[in-house]
Amino acid sequence: MPLFPLTLPQADLLFDPAFLPAAEADALLAQLTAEVAWEQRSIRLFGQEFPQPRLTAWYGDPEARYTYSGLAWEPRPWTPALLALRQRVAAACAAPFNSVLLNLYRDGRDSMGWHADDEPELGPKPVIASLSLGATRRFRLRPRPGLVLPSLSLDLGSGSLLLMRGSTQQHWQHALPKTTQPLGPRLNLTFRWVGGK
């Protein structure tokens, strides 16, 4: 099934809720959870160190070094599973990717705060493909301060693929809030090109 557009002003979003079949998504969740070299890094907020509320990993081509939230990442080499996923996602999105950021949300208490993927290494109009595995979580988008636009909430189920491109990061922030619902793990892979194009 091809990606279809989502209506959001000053954004370019495409979505496929069933990019991967359920059985394949479940198998990949188990495989990647076991084989990825997960880390729980700390970030500095208001002069204090706090562990990020999720596990993370960075894989990619050797030159795909990345910095966000004050954290510098050197890419680990692609695993066969991640390399195969990169090729499939790149074909579906008609875009090249040289790296992937993986976030493992162990349960509903793990989260991602409001941010935009607007680091200089990503270029002025980054193309970011977000593949979800595991528990369905609510993804939220809100306009940047000063913009009067409607917000959007989107449930990202297992096997879904969301593509953000164009001026989306210039005008919008996104987050994955905590939830009190009893949920299993969710693994999110965001494929991107680091180094400008």
pLDDT tens across 143-175, in order? 998 888 889 999 999 999 999 999 999 999 999
pLDDT at 163: 98
- Kindly state whether residue 197 falls inside one of the protein's structural domains: no
Q: What is the percentage of the chain residues whose pLDDT exceeds 90?
A: 80
Closest-CA residue to 192 (of 71, 103, 107, 104): 103
pLDDT at 63: 93
Per-residue model confidence as pLDDT tens digits over 18-39: 999 999 999 999 999 999 999 9
- Kindly state whether residue 13 falls inside one of the protein's structural domains: yes
Q: Which amino acid is at 154?
A: L
Residue 45 confidence (pLDDT) above 90: no
Instruction: Name the residue range of residue 135's domain.
Output: 4-192
Other Cβ atoms less than 10 A from the Cβ of 113: the count is: 15
Angle, CA of 166, 172 and 173, to the nearest 5°: 125
- Kindly state whether residue 62 falls inside one of the protein's structural domains: yes
- Kindly state whether residue 146 falls inside one of the protein's structural domains: yes
Structure letter (DSSP) for residue 76: B
Give the whole-angstrom CA distance, residue 126 versus residue 129: 10
Residues 25, 85 contacting (CB under 8 angstroms):
no
- Kindly state whether residue 148 falls inside one of the protein's structural domains: yes
* Cβ within 8 Å of residue 65, ≥6 positions away: 72, 73, 74, 75, 121, 194
What CATH number has the domain bearing residue 86? 2.60.120.590
> How many structural domains is the chain composed of?
1
Residue 70 confidence (pLDDT) above 90: no
- Kindly state whether residue 114 falls inside one of the protein's structural domains: yes
Name the helix (H) or strand (E) containing 84.
Answer: helix 80-93
